[in-house]
A and B are shown apart, each in its own frame.
Chain A
Amino acid sequence: MALFHLGLSTSGHDPALALVSETGEILFAEATERFVQDKRAWGVVPDHFNHLASALKMVGFDVARDRLRVATTWSRAKADLPVQMSGELLDIADANWVRELQADMHRMAGASLMRLGLTTEMPEARRFDHHLCHAVAACAFAPVEDAACLVIDGEGEVGAVSLFDLRARSLKRRWRSWGPGSLGALYSALTQLCGFDWRQGEEWKVMGLAAFGTVRPELRDALAAILEVDNGRLLLADHATITAMIARLRQASRAPSAPIMDAADLAASGQAAYAQLVDRMLADCTDKDVDTLILSGGCALNSSYNGTIAGRSGFDRLCVPPAPADDGNAIGAALLSYMETAGTTRIPQGDGSPYLGTPVDANRVGKLHHAQRSAHVTDLGADSAERLAACLAEGKIVGVMRGRAEFGPRALGNRSILADPRPAGMKDRVNAAVKGREPYRPFAPVICAEDLPDWFETPQSSPYMSLTLRWRAERAAQVPAVVHADGTGRLQSVTPDSTPWLHRVVRSFGAQTGVPVILNTSFNVMGKPIIHSVEDALSVFMTTGLDAVLIEDTLIEKTTPAA
């Protein structure tokens, strides 16, 4: 009999489940949105029965013999506290909606164990502090003994920010902020003002748009005035100030139907306000005993800002986990359950792999030859990396589905669309052929870690695509499809140890073209989550302009080239 720990992200949005072994190893982690193919999976239980059953089977859980301990990512239902704790900057209906969803997820956590036959009544779930889950999950991916660990989130049990000290891999909270002051909520409000929808997770669009705008001091200052930083903690300004500032910002806001570039200055000013506020917070978090900052919470997805932290704000090194937002918390809850059971405060350090999700179904791969009636099907065998690189060098856009899915919002080569970054028109081609997203939004580069100094001005490792860095000017011209309007790129750096196959692809592409950089974007179409099943991959292949898909080592190509 073995004991497994099931961590459930119970925020009501971005549900996810994680499984940790009785020795503290992260066995599985995946967002529910992948399984149900519904972006952000609002209101779907994180222990969705079929998803959980599939995950348990994958990790070798024996229903007849093994036990499952359930843990959640909130210590309480948010609805127990006044709505003003979370609703001040958002539409009150949205705030109440999220609170009700979270209350349901919190209450329902573990109900699927009854369906599995593991229990006859609701299991008793272990409830863990939301920011502690963020911090533990982040530390599990950080290869350090000591650090400062800052969680900047949309919410928490009492506030949106917590600072922890990691010492000998044990965490102790230094402080947390109380009340509705929230950078996550401020960025959501900014997203709405820019004419996008935070409920769809469109904060990305604001960050990407910022590169096209000019910071207008009156807008930046109005946004920054909505929050105060007091000893690192975030406080919401008084109601009169908020009303006045929002009124000022509304004058620059964009209606969803208006041209996107109308919001560029507001986006740039918002990003500048964000940077100003986090700079102030970090100044209050420095610690002479540590040089590493571990950053987590939803705001740790702000890759533009992340790229500016190391070496500038009292920390020499930045670690951001692959899933810093609420989906990633499932790992934190599962690890905390393990630590509680094992009687240790020491956070296990994993191998850093983000490839923790569902593998490609081998049965489906075995049937791909059926596609021969409508496409070229080739087994690339052991040379798949080199032969894929050749396809890319020929200008083909290829969807790749190999191994286990990535955990977190980024496609890191196992559920990715790859292409040649050298043609200036490749960005528009990928958008027109496959992604269908706004033409201004950038695509990301993959680069070998050892090449970083040759290509970026301030090279930093970025294995999970967490950082945006500035290209060297002379290099940017060689890869225009992955250079953003402000001369930056949100890179994924790969090594032979962490990502051997993708490293080989990049190396081989470099050998064939002289440019060791590849365009990498997530394998999905706009509005849909990243693909989960072989059928999802083939559906995107057949209904878009993708030239080919590589499923494990089987390449499926369209029989006629794109017009």
Chain B
Amino acid sequence: MSAVVDKNALIDSELFQFLRAQVVKRSRIPAESVTPDAALSDLGLQSIDAVLLCGEVESKFDVEIDPIEIFEHETVGDFVQTLLDRIGT
């Protein structure tokens, strides 16, 4: 399976789509800017918003997240992949 296919699968995942919508809601950047390669630090999120975004994901997908985790990943894709691995998807 190529990396491109993996990335597409990631983009298609409900988790990525949910995260993208939440980022857009909080930072008001265009949805197309929220890509797997986008740096989390470039999304225009306040740190409090980044933490609360973790909470939205936790409630929606029933997976406990350490709020500091979002700051420990460089890109949106890395963060989503970590969570997908944990959920077992």
Q: Which residues in A have some Cβ–Cβ distance to B below 8 Å? A: 75-76, 80-82, 84-85, 157-159, 173, 175-179, 231, 233
Least CB distance, B77 to chain A, in whole angstroms: 23
Q: Are A178 and B48 in contact (CB under 8 A)?
A: no
Q: Tell me which residues across on chain A come within 8 A of B67, comparing CB atoms.
A: 81, 157-158, 178
* 16 more CB-based (< 8 A) A-B contacts, given A176-B58, A179-B55, A231-B59: A76-B66, A80-B68, A81-B47, A81-B68, A82-B46, A82-B48, A84-B48, A158-B51, A175-B59, A177-B55, A178-B54, A178-B56, A178-B58, A179-B48, A179-B52, A233-B59
Q: Give the docked Cα–Cα distance between A178 and B48 (Å).
A: 10
Contact bitstring B24-46, A, C-beta under 8 A = 1, else 0? 00000000000000000000001
Q: Are B51 and A178 in contact (CB under 8 A)?
A: yes
Q: Give the docked Cα–Cα distance between A347 and B56 (Å).
A: 30
Q: Are A76 and B48 in contact (CB under 8 A)?
A: no
Q: Which residues in B have some Cβ–Cβ distance to A below 8 Å? A: 46-48, 51-52, 54-56, 58-59, 64, 66-68
Q: Are B47 and A82 in contact (CB under 8 A)?
A: yes
Quick one: which of A75, A76, A176, A178 has the most chain B CB within 10 A? A178
Least CB distance, B58 to chain A, in whole angstroms: 7
Interface of A, secondary structure class, is: loop
Q: Give the docked Cα–Cα distance between A158 and B46 (Å).
A: 16
Contact of A82 among B51, B56, B64, B66 (CB under 8 A): B51
Least CB distance, A238 to chain B, in whole angstroms: 13
Q: Are A178 and B68 in contact (CB under 8 A)?
A: no
Least CB distance, A72 to chain B, in whole angstroms: 16
Q: Tell me which residues across on chain A come within 8 A of B48, comparing CB atoms.
A: 82, 84-85, 179
Q: Are B64 and A85 in contact (CB under 8 A)?
A: no
A178 closest partner in B (C-beta):
B55
Q: Give the docked Cα–Cα distance between A157 and B64 (Å).
A: 12
Least CB distance, A62 to chain B, in whole angstroms: 38
Known A76-B68, A80-B68, A173-B64: A158·B55 in contact at CB below 8 Å: yes
8 CB < 8 A contacts A-B: A81-B47, A81-B68, A158-B54, A158-B67, A176-B58, A178-B51, A179-B52, A233-B59
Q: Tell me which residues across on chain B come within 8 A of A85, comparing CB atoms.
A: 48, 51
